[in-house]
Amino acid sequence: MYRKEIKAYAQEINRQRMSVISKNKHKYSKFWDYPACISICYGLNKKKRKRKGFAKGYSHRPEGTRWATPLERKLSSIGSIGHPTKYCDNILGNCAEQHSANNYMNQYHELCLSNLYFSPTIRPRTGQVIDACSNCKYIFPNI
């Protein structure tokens, strides 16, 4: 599910990157590089078995992120946001799945982590499908 959307999202990121590079061509500034991973989170209306909508997310540092309360509680229960956990060496709050879930929960006012589903997570630079880390597997029951 959402394979077309995740590929379109990767193409969108590539276009944005190329735009930033072309605009900053003659400036001595850092240009925006690809995020490590991108993901799409979606929910299902369980009574009607229909999709409710989706939200995109990419991997980046958790600083400045306004986390949805249920997700923040779950993240804090397994470790300190911004640091590796006992489950995984990945930094908690960095993953594309965590950011797409947060975007979905904030946009659609979802309160239950078990209602969240995810597209395949891909690396936009290569198109490679990336498996979810142990942190994400622990946080989200439907990964």
DSSP assignments along 116-132, one per residue: EEEPPEEETTTTEEEPP
Total number of domains in the chain = 1
Supply 2's token pair: 């959402």
Half-sphere exposure of 20 (CA within 13 A, CB side): 13
Instruction: Name the residue range of residue 23's domain.
Output: 3-139
The pLDDT value given to residue 19: 78
Q: Give residue 50's pLDDT.
A: 60
Long-range contacts at 110-114 (CB < 8 A, ≥ 24 apart): 110/43, 110/68, 111/69, 111/70, 112/70, 113/70, 113/71, 113/74, 113/139, 113/140, 113/141, 114/141, 114/142
pLDDT confidence of residue 27: 56
pLDDT in tens, the chain (143 residues): 578 889 899 999 888 887 777 776 655 545 567 899 999 999 876 655 566 789 999 999 999 999 999 999 999 999 999 999 999 999 999 999 999 999 999 999 999 999 999 999 999 989 999 999 999 999 999 99
Query: Which uninterrupted H or E stretch holds 51?
Result: strand 50-58
Assess contact for 116 and 109: CB atoms under 8 A.
no
101 is written with which tokens?
């879930």
How much is the pLDDT for 22?
Answer: 72
How high is the pLDDT of residue 141? 95
pTM here? 0.86
